[in-house]
Structure 1
Amino acid sequence: MVTDLGGDKSTSDKPWPVRVVSQKIGQWIGRLGWIWIDGQVTQIVRRPGTNTVFITLRDPSADLSLSVTTNRDVLDLGAPQLTDGARIVVHARPEFYAARGSLSLRADEIRQVGLGELLARLEQLKKLLQAEGLFARERKRRLPFLPRRIGLVTGRASAAERDVLMNARRRWPSVDFRVINVAVQGPSAVPQIIDALAVLDRDETVDVIVLARGGGSVEDLLPFSDEALCRAVFACRTPVVSAVGHETDVPLVDFVADVRASTPTDAAKRVVPDLGDELRLIAHAKQRLDRALRGLLDREQHRLDALRSRPSVARPLTMVEQREADVAALRDRAARNLRHRLDRAGTELEHTLARLRTLSPSATLQRGYAIVQRADGAVVRNPAEVSGQDRLRIRLAEGELTAIVEE
């Protein structure tokens, strides 16, 4: 159910006729009033015999366009040299043509944007993007050493495409490209480039994307300074190389891209290594490795020779023989020392035995003496120590006697 401002309702029983719907749409659209619009001219139609001029105005960053009608005098006053691709600012109000059911803008003032104003806008946009961090060096990604596949966004059959492909394949013949041709200037350039970037960024086999275009005027390179394109490049997960224009041309996309190449030829040099240079580097590295290996072998050989020249290695038995002589000398010394000690101990023992024999009672007995002992073993030294009939034991040198005391 739809309700208008007046409170009338459209129902299945009371539907609005087409004229009422057209009238109400016109009323709603008319509420927008007069507005200023910025866009790019894609078509100008001046019909003979009429003062009405029809202009198709397109958004530079999107695939959207509106029709603008104006008086020839308004156009001649504000933009007499207006051509396709120019940027203009229009003061207009929307109008709905009920007879055709179409919408257009009625302009009463048209201003063509000059180069100075465009450059001022670009400078302002540059400051905005830089403040947001789109130019930050720390977010720049390094290019792969040897990409599996290179995505190339460029104009169809352009010199930029030829330069990139030819120079890249000259440097690395087996390099693989996925080329997407787009418009690189004009009102449709930005949407096509953004779509191509999205397609290549989704391709898992593409390791790097090259955005290439040949030289041109400032107006021709304006699409590569578009805000939407700069943000699309910033959002890419795949590293992007910007190779737009000549070395002196610096569109805003150069600041956003991960790598800026001065020309398409320079881009080819940056995305792939030179096969000849790499082969020479490998050859030099091999030579250095060979020299280092030979030097290492020579040093180790010298070390082995020095080790082999040492007496312990040249005549290994010398050490054994020397130790054998030392052991033999020690054994002789030990034997002599032991014999000396044994001899000295024997002599001391003989002396001790001699003293012992001298001091022993047996020696006294040998001279004819005897030892008299009582029955309890006590030695009798005084006759008073025994009495009559005591049994005594008499020890002689060659035996014993038993005696009974009589008196």
Structure 2
Amino acid sequence: MTQDGTAPANSADHPWPVRTVAVKVAQWIDRLGSVWVEGQITQMSPRPGARTAFLVLRDPSADMSLSVTCDPELLRRSPVPLQEGSRVVVYGKLSFFVGRGTISLRAIEIRPVGVGELLARIERLKALLDAEGLFDPRRKRPIPFLPATVGLITGRGSAAEHDVVTVARNRWPAVRFEIRNTAVQGPTAVPQIVRALAELDGDGAVEVIVLARGGGSVEDLLPFSDEALCRAISAAGTPIVSAIGHEPDTPISDLVADLRAATPTDAAKRIVPDAAAELAGVHDMRVRAAAALRGWVERETRALAQLRSRPALADPLRDIERRAEDVERLRTTARRCAERLVDGEATATRHLREKLVAVGPAATLARGYAVVQRVAGKERHVVRTVGDAPAGSQLRVRVADGAVTAAALGAESLGKSVVAQALPDNQKQTGRNRR
């Protein structure tokens, strides 16, 4: 005790004895009070003459259990005979036995859960999972056409295992199985199935998982409507086929699974194809492909024959020859047009040349006229009037066939009328000589 009268704090230097810890645990548990607990009876040991009956209550969805003690009269007065596997609701108070260090539930009331109540709970769970979208068809994963390895979860030595393996191998002999044998009913079914499902889902070689059971009563099929199992099926990455084989009552696992099969045999038929049917289909497709190919070749042959029969391909030079005739005709026409144009222009040129010759100085000189030029050194000046050639001037007289050198001896005047008439002609002739 400390100076103020309180107990020292718990530490390595001041540890609590076992009795203190046991008492404290008993006090803490006692504060919990009475509770209602639901579970499945896995063990019952009512001893004749004993004042206490011992039971083990197990959680159907987890590997957990709780010890229960009760008055044997509670078991005998039950309206429904209780046995191992029965679902019950227990009302009692937890007790911690300090002597043995164990916890036990002292049952005051035990109520068996009837089939009606179980079905009602299944319906409530179904509505909950449906609201969460676990039944949505868009969540369904497609089943592979030809899985190399099939995972199978079923009971050991069960008819369901025999049906799935035999039918699948008869349809496709090369198929391989990874089989996990688990309990398919009772309190241990859900934990074992969930573990097997996780193991197969983690195996990369497994392409589809079949959960199979050969039917049973409503109570026997309760594990397949368990929430933990349904959520494990929904969370799996591998497609899952549910083949419970119970038509009247559909377990929730059928709704959550990616594919529901009516029976294990139906599941085997739906996970692997029939080799004989596939070979027949391949043969049929080969026949159809060959017929289609022959038809295509015949159509193309006819099309080629039609193309070859066309004039452009039957006589390819025909158009060239026709075009050659057109070209020759156009060449002849162009040559004729060019010749006419040249002849016309030649005639016009000849006429112009004749006109030019007729009005040119050479023609004038040929008619008897002459051009008189006064020579002054190297310069020459055309004599137009008698004043341009005074006496003694050196003259050069040009005639039609040459020129004559002369000298001016004098001048002789003509009448004004004669000069006026002749002057324009002389001026015109002089202008032409200059040009």
Same fold (TM over 0.5): yes
Partner of residue 390 from structure 2, selected from 387, 390, 404:
387
Aligned position for 1:251: 251
Q: Report SS of the residue matched to 1:218.
A: coil
- List per-residue Cα deviations over 1:122-160 (Å, max 9, x = no partner): 111112222222222222211222222111111111111
Query: Structure 1 residues 353, 13: closer, same or farther in 2, change over 3 A?
Result: closer
Change (3 A) 1:369 1:102: closer
Q: Is the 1:79–1:110 contact (alpha carbons within 8 Å) kept by the matching residues of 2?
A: no
8 Å CA contact retained: 1:373, 1:380: yes
> Does 2:278 match 1:275?
no
Per-residue CA distance 1:13-49 (angstroms, 9 max, x = gap): 7765555554444333333222111110112222123
1:165 aligns to 2:165 (yes or no): yes
Partner-residue secondary structure (3-state), 1:374: strand
- Confirm or deny: 8 A CA contact 2:151 2:206 kept in the other structure: yes
Cα distance in structure 1, aligned partners of 2:283 and 2:109: 71
Q: How does 1:6-405 map to 2 (within 5 A)?
A: 7=7, 18-79=18-79, 81-375=81-375, 377-405=380-408
What is the DSSP-based 3-state SS (H/G/I as helix, E as strand, rest coil) of the residue aligned with 1:69?
strand
SS at 2:85's partner residue?
A: coil
1:194: how far off? 0.5
- Find the aligned partners of 1:99 and 1:176 in 2 and give their Cα distance: 56
Distance 1:356 1:23, change over 3 A: closer
- Residue 93 of structure 1 and its aligned partner are, at CA, apart by 1.6
The 3-state SS of whatever aligns with 1:365 is helix
**Within 2, Cα distance between the matches of 1:53 and 1:166?**
47
- The whole-number CA distance in structure 2 between the counterparts of 1:110 and 1:224 is 25
2: distance between equivalents of 1:321 and 1:242? 82
Corresponding residue SS for 2:184? coil
Write the letter of the residue equivalent to 2:351: H
3-state SS of 2:50 partner: coil
In structure 2, relative to structure 1, the CA distance for the partners of 1:349 and 1:20 (3 Å cut) is closer
Aligned residues: 402
1:3 paired residue number: none
Q: Percent identity?
A: 54
Compute the displacement of 1:70 (Å): 1.5
- Aligned mates of 2:315, 2:118 — CA distance in 1: 94
Mean Cα displacement is larger for which, 167-176 or 54-63?
A: 167-176
| Higher mean C-alpha displacement, 344-353 vs 376-385 | 376-385
What letter corresponds to residue 211 of structure 1 in structure 2?
Answer: L
How far did residue 220 of structure 1 move?
Answer: 0.4
Displacement of 1:9 = 6.0
User: Quick one: distance in 1 between partners of 2:366 and 2:14?
Assistant: 174
The answer to whether the 8 A contact 1:34-1:92 is kept is: yes
Q: Deviations over 1:330-376 (max 9, x none)?
A: 33333333333333333333333332332233223223332222335
- Range with bigger deviation, 211-220 or 134-143: 134-143
Of stretches 356-365 and 148-157 in structure 1, the one that deviates more from structure 2 is: 356-365
- The whole-number CA distance in structure 2 between the counterparts of 1:7 and 1:354 is 159
Q: 1:343 to 1:26 in 2, by over 3 A?
A: closer
- Flag the 1:395–1:97 CA change in 2: closer, same or farther, 3 A: same
- Return the offset for 1:405: 0.6
Q: Distance in 1 between matches of 2:106 and 2:148?
A: 53
For residues 242-264 of structure 1, what are the alpha-carbon distances to aligned partners after superposition, in whole Å with 9 as ceiling and x for unaligned?
A: 11132333111112112222221
Secondary structure, counterpart of 1:400 in structure 2: strand
RMSD: 2.3
SS at match of 1:31: helix
Query: For residue 425 of structure 2, what is the aligned residue in structure 1?
Result: none
Rounded Cα–Cα distance in structure 2 between residues aligned with 1:114 and 1:396: 160
Secondary structure, counterpart of 2:398 in structure 1: strand
Q: How far, CA to CA, are the matches of 2:254 and 2:70 in structure 1?
A: 38
**8 Å Cα contact 1:78-1:109 kept in structure 2:** no
Q: Name the structure 1 match of 2:421.
A: none
Greater CA drift, 145-154 or 376-385 = 376-385
**8 Å CA contact retained: 1:134, 1:234:** yes
Of the two, which has the highest radius of gyration?
2
User: 2:56 is aligned with what amino acid?
Assistant: T
Code of the aligned partner of 2:154: T
Deviation at 1:386, TM superposition (A): 2.4
Matched to 1:192, the amino acid is Q
| Cα separation, 2, equivalents of 1:15 and 1:326 | 127
Which stretches in structure 2 are left out of the alignment for 5+ residues? 1-5, 411-435
